[in-house]
Structure 1
Amino acid sequence: MPRKELFWKLGCIYGAMLYIRADSGRLQRLMGNDLSFGDPDEAMSYIIPFLTAGLASKPQASERTWKKRKSEQPLRAAKVPPEITPPKAKRRSASK
């Protein structure tokens, strides 16, 4: 595996692991409070296959190919199903 590819894959692995360990509650706000990263055994049953597949994958495109694809077809926002659309945040009024 080329050094650059390993660098990016390890960055993605560390990022995923740190996000789960931080457990900021962001995903619970999006998906529901009945879900949690709190069970280490459950976390391992999901994260190990996910990270293993990521390590085994090949990069999709070089920077040059990405620029070409980007100019050919604009990206469009994905439609989020209503059942996972987060509620609108309430604005706080400024305290005087």
Structure 2
Amino acid sequence: MPNIKSAKKRVRTIENRTVRNSARRSALRTALKRFDAAAEAGDQEKLNSAFMVAVKKVDKAVVYGLIHKNKAARKKSQLQRRYDQAVNASNAS
């Protein structure tokens, strides 16, 4: 344990940030899983809303420093590709 006051504060700050970051990371993963579930189900309305939420969560994750901007770009590209496939599959049938 640190002895210096500022070091003690840093420990408290890091603990708070760790909790906040893990909650945000969990919310990101949940949004991505909900999008995948909506894509599998083929429900167009759920798919649209889940896609918007997932893209927003990815963008927010970059702002919060959870993921790198290139990873976010790659993830959004994957989401868009999956979205287009699901829309085309529902239109074809």
Q: Normalized per residue, which structure has more helix?
A: 2
Question: With CA pairs under 8 Å and 6+ residues apart, which has the higher RCO, 1 or 2?
Answer: 1
TM-score higher than 0.5: no
TM-score norm. by structure 2 comes to 0.31
